[in-house]
Amino acid sequence: MVSDTSAYTLRPVSELDYYDTRSVLLPIAIPPLEAWNFIMEDPQPMMRVAFRIRDAIASRFGVKRIGGFSGAKRDAVRAGDRIDFFLVEHEAPGLLVLTERDRHLEVMICISSVERSLTITSSVVIHNMFGRAYMSVVGPIHKLLVRNDLKRLVRKLERLGPAT
């Protein structure tokens, strides 16, 4: 695990097979776990379909089904806990690091916040041809999903109004 001052990645960026980072200025400051809860309480419809397709195809190649996101709210997590299929690798004020590793690839999602700025950084290391084929499809879709998740998060927080 590699860290700069605000995000963790699996390896230095130059050694990653996939890297994406997206930031947004939120109407109010919230910690990373709260951002995760808001985003995953009602996953995008496209995400549900994507996970069904992913599981149907991947299971034929011996990859475990992950089923998508439960929407279950977590009030606290610590390293070693699971949030759906992700392992909580690290948790600290302003930082939530989630990983999933299998024989095809390693995935790390780092959610970081500094005041009202929230960043989601995704890094992937591919181990074989199946992982490469998988990421050739998932990579571009992942960027769209994260971008849309961040937009939806801003709208949800705007509807909630200022913190009291």
Which residues are paired to 114 by β-bridges? Answer: 117
pLDDT of residue 97: 98
Q: What does each of the 164 residues of the chain score in pLDDT, given as a tens digit?
A: 655 556 899 999 999 999 999 999 999 999 999 999 999 887 777 667 766 776 677 677 666 766 656 667 889 999 999 998 899 999 999 999 999 998 889 999 999 999 999 999 999 999 999 899 889 988 998 899 899 999 999 999 999 876 54
Q: In order of start, what are the domains of the chain with their CATH numbers?
A: 2-155 (3.30.530)
- 72 Cβ contact list (under 8 Å, min separation 6): 84
pLDDT of residue 89: 97
Q: Are 87 and 128 in contact (CB under 8 A)?
A: no
CA nearest to 27, candidates 164, 113, 154, 148: 154
